[in-house]
Structure 1
Amino acid sequence: MFKKLKIKELKYLTFVFALLIIGCNSDKKNPVKRSVEDIKAEPIVKNYDFVYNDFKVIEDTIHSGDTFGTLLQDYFLPDSMNVHQLTEKVKDSFNLRGIKAGKPFIVFLDKKNPKNLKAFVYVKDKINYTVIDLRDSVVVQNKQKPTSIRKRTIAAEIEGSLSETLDKAGASASLAPKLAGVYAYSIDFFKIQKGDKFAVTLYEKFIEDSIYVGIEKVESTYFQHKGKDYFAFPYKKEKDKGESYYDENGKALKSMFLKAPLDFFRISSRFSARRFHPVQGRWKAHNGTDYAAPHGTPIKTTAAGVVERTGYTAGNGNYVKVRHNSTYSTQYLHMSKILVKKGQYVSQGQTIGKVGSTGLATGPHVCYRFWKNGVQVDPFRQNLPNAEPMEEGERKKYLEYIKPYKKELDSILKVKFNQ
């Protein structure tokens, strides 16, 4: 092939090859220098008040059987300290028995000597954590991540289920059970239908303004079900320990009495004028309702009131009697443990004792007795009232208190639903 090339062409190719060789050698002698900007800096990672870049960091999870001692047994502690000595130093500030399987922990080690422990962090939840800092001296700090609270109002028309509608509105799924709890005595949430409407003003908590934690508080709510309007505002009456929900007129949304003194139960014997007593072996009236449940199950007072009597009798075993007002009283029998005292005020749903089988009982249960005007009656056959109405003075305070919240909801309903 080269024989066919002309002399000029051969000279030209020789010149090009020479330039390429010179260029390559030139690059080796004078390499291109990279600027500082071309070198990507290692990103700074900071969490739990530690700069991760300064340590060798091990992140792990507590496993069943782990203890504070076993978690640290492979590391060197400062000042020739052993794990037992460290445990003694931190036990007053750090609940060592509170370490739970499934919770995260972080170990910070010396970068040059990665067996040397510098700090230990136990993460209790999204917000709370404990730091055991060993860098200078042993310092234990129970800390919280910085949080912020944001207020917002969600308004929507039911399209499918409440949960689906909330999801489309960008709300947390945890809002559904909260709303169901607010309206538990007013609306059957299994029967809500397309076209029902709601609005809720709530406060939500975030970690460092970005990580969603949950609902802090529901400020006010509105629900329209089958064309009927239901407003709800949380309010704490002067004598109450906690808040309850009331409508726009100050009427309580919940009933005065819970349906049962237990959360999970089986009715083993109903109120009856004639029942065969399993212990006494004879027919007699049974002026109560028996709820069978495992030993130690919490017993709740079905309505707010004052503990009228506590004690023990051969038939009733350990018992508590609560006076709710001049008309109604309730009594709870066969307790394994009494948790209240005579004269104590109790709120609705407060735990007053534990299920047992004291007195005349063949097994663990609570016998629930109900008085109306001094006579024992069957609560299932009574038209029981809503919660005690507000006194007129407190009602005026309440109506003044909810004015801005009601005005805010009305404004949102007007914009969203033109009503």
Structure 2
Amino acid sequence: MKFERKPSPLSPRFFWAMIVALVAGLAIAIYVNMKILHRSKSVQTDSTAMQQVKAVPVMRFGLPVDSFRIVSGTIRRNEFFSTILNRYGITPVQILAIRRQTDSIFNPRQIRAGDSYQLFFSPDTSLHIPLYFVYQPDPTHYVVLNLQHPEQSYSGDFPVTSKIQTVSGVIQSSLYETLDDRHASPALAQMMAEIYAWTIDFFSIQPGDWFKVVYRENFVEGRSIGPARILSAEFYHGGEKFFAFYYQDSTGKGNYYDENGKSLRKAFLKAPLKYFRITSRYSLNRFHPIQHVWKAHLGTDYAAPEGTPILATGDGVVIASTYSRFNGNYLKIRHNAEYTTQYLHMSRRAVRVGQYVRQGQVIGYVGHTGLATGPHVCYRFWKNGVEVDPLKQHFPAANPVPASEKQEFSSWVEKQLAVLNQISLPGADSATVTAAASHPAPQG
């Protein structure tokens, strides 16, 4: 006899355990699928973001520079704009068209040896003709010549940022070497020499002399392009301290003054060049090197390399800017009712008749046009209509701070003295430091 076992009914506990297990399994499956889906979307998002980052071009000179092959170069001595382009397959006819259509923003005659340029080519290496010529005449300015469509050429400027810097030093050998040892721009030496030109003889600087300087330094794309302006300075020389403060008056004109508002500059510079060698002085009887006769030479000849900038020795109005057989390219400036100056044998002139020029402004460039044996500038000087020797004149000081602005100037000086007082002198003995800390108060 066979007996059939009837299936026993599920107990309630077992039933609910099965339900819980089923729900938990379903939840785990949903969670895993969601994680996989999220990770997939995240990967897609990251990939898209990376593609977007890669798609953002690197811009410089107004061009996506990462989309070109770029060849960088430096203007060589006696190298011309046309020779550079011709070297890369651009014909003389094309070069002439480029020059004509870009003359408002670019003068190829003004390119100088040492200036940098860049040629932009298609990324296709089979194409060898440049598309753009980029020229930088200085660290802040650039010109972009579109060689295929010259009418689309343009110029631009890099954004410039500034930072106030300080430097000090005790001189052991020279001002230049001291600044170099302090990791400061040697250009500050020339700037100080110009500021103190009528106050300190920099050829007589002695070991132990010291200086403190507050200046503004300019930066382009995070790189220093050098000091822009000295704001204040203190120079100890020959047992005496000399202060210099840059101040702009209400008309916008800026000059350097001492702590009492007296101008540090004279009405005229000592010479029309920064660097020079006197080859012939003012004389009433000189043997002329070309005409071979004894005659008066009522000027002072300053020799310098061709193209050296010539500076206006004083403020004034240009009353002549022309060419003559003997003088070559020359300028004449009337400074006031008493003084007039003239500059001869220029390679080219940089100002026009009627233009007002400031002391130290570039007015032309050294050459040997006219009756000249070599590159130099013949500097002539009139006082009350009579030519005189400029090296023997005692020039008056330039105007002081206007009386109406004396209070504002004094406040500026006090602030700058406080800054100078905070600058320590490296390697100075206690006596020197004590002397450095005692600043005179501006006098009324």
**TM-score, length of structure 1 as denominator length:** 0.62
Preserved contact between residue 121 and residue 132 of structure 1 (Cα < 8 Å) = yes
Structure 1 vs Structure 2: percent identity of aligned residues? 28
- 1:343-362 to structure 2, matched below 5 A, reads 347-349=358-360
Match of 1:216 among 228, 244, 247: 228
CA distance in 2, matches of 1:69, 1:335: 32
Deviation (angstroms), 1:229:
1.0
CA spacing shift, 1:185–1:133, aligned 2, 3 Å: same
Task: Give runs of aligned pairs for residues 155-304 of structure 1, distance below 5 A.
Answer: 155-209=168-222, 211-237=223-249, 242-260=253-271, 265-270=278-283, 289-292=298-301, 302-304=313-315
User: 1:92: Cα distance to partner?
Assistant: 5.7
**Within 2, Cα distance between the matches of 1:277 and 1:183?**
36
* Deviation for aligned residue 1:132: 5.0
Correspondences of 1:73-92 after superposition (within 5 Å): 73=89, 83=94, 87=98, 91=102
Question: Which segments of 5 or more consecutive residues in structure 2 lack a partner in the other structure?
Answer: 1-49, 438-444
Distance (whole Å) between structure 2 residues aligned to residue 321 and residue 252 of structure 1: 22
1:108 aligns with 2:121: yes
Equivalent of residue 70 in structure 1, options 82, 86, 97 = 86
Distance of 2:103 and 2:333 partners within structure 1? 40
**Equivalent residue for 2:339?**
329
Maintained 8 Å contact 2:197/2:265: yes
Secondary structure of the 2:176 match is helix
**Distance in 2 separating the partners of 1:131 and 1:309:** 35
* 1:356–1:299 distance in 2 versus 1, CA, 3 Å: farther
**Alignment-mate amino acid for residue 329 of structure 1:** Y
State the partner residue of 1:95.
106
Q: TM-score under structure 2 normalisation?
A: 0.59
Alpha-carbon distance between aligned partners in 2 of 1:237 and 1:58, rounded to the nearest angstrom: 47
Q: Distance in 2 between matches of 1:190 and 1:394?
A: 35
Moved more, 142-151 or 345-354: 345-354
| C-alpha distance 345-190 of structure 1, shift in aligned 2 (>3 A) | same
Whether contact under 8 Å (2:298, 2:387) holds in the other structure is no
How many residues are aligned here? Answer: 355
1:404 is the counterpart of 2:415:
yes
Further displaced range: 295-304 or 168-177: 295-304
Which structure 1 segments of 5+ residues have no match?
1-40, 76-81
Aligned-partner Cα distance in 2 for 1:89–1:329: 42
Question: Residue 290 of structure 1 aligns to which amino acid in structure 2?
Answer: G
1:58 and 1:258 map into 2 onto residues whose CA distance is: 43
RMSD: 5.4
Q: Distance in 2 between matches of 1:137 and 1:383?
A: 54
Amino acid at match of 1:291: T
* CA pair 93-170 structure 1, distance change in 2 beyond 3 A: same
1:128 to partner: Cα distance? 3.0
Give the Å deviation of 1:136: 11
- Correspondence 1:28-67 to 2 at 5 A: 46=58, 48=60, 54-60=67-73, 64-65=79-80, 66-67=82-83
Matches of 2:357 and 2:106, distance apart in 1: 31
Q: CA deviation at 1:90?
A: 5.4
8 Å Cα contact 2:316/2:336 also seen in 1? yes
Show the counterpart of 2:157.
144
Per-residue CA distance 1:367-401 (angstroms, 9 max, x = gap) = 845547x9887665554433344443344443344
- Cα distance in 2, alignment partners of residues 306 and 247 from structure 1: 28
More helix by share: 2
Contact 1:154 1:200 in 2 (8 A): yes
Letter in 2 for 1:214: G
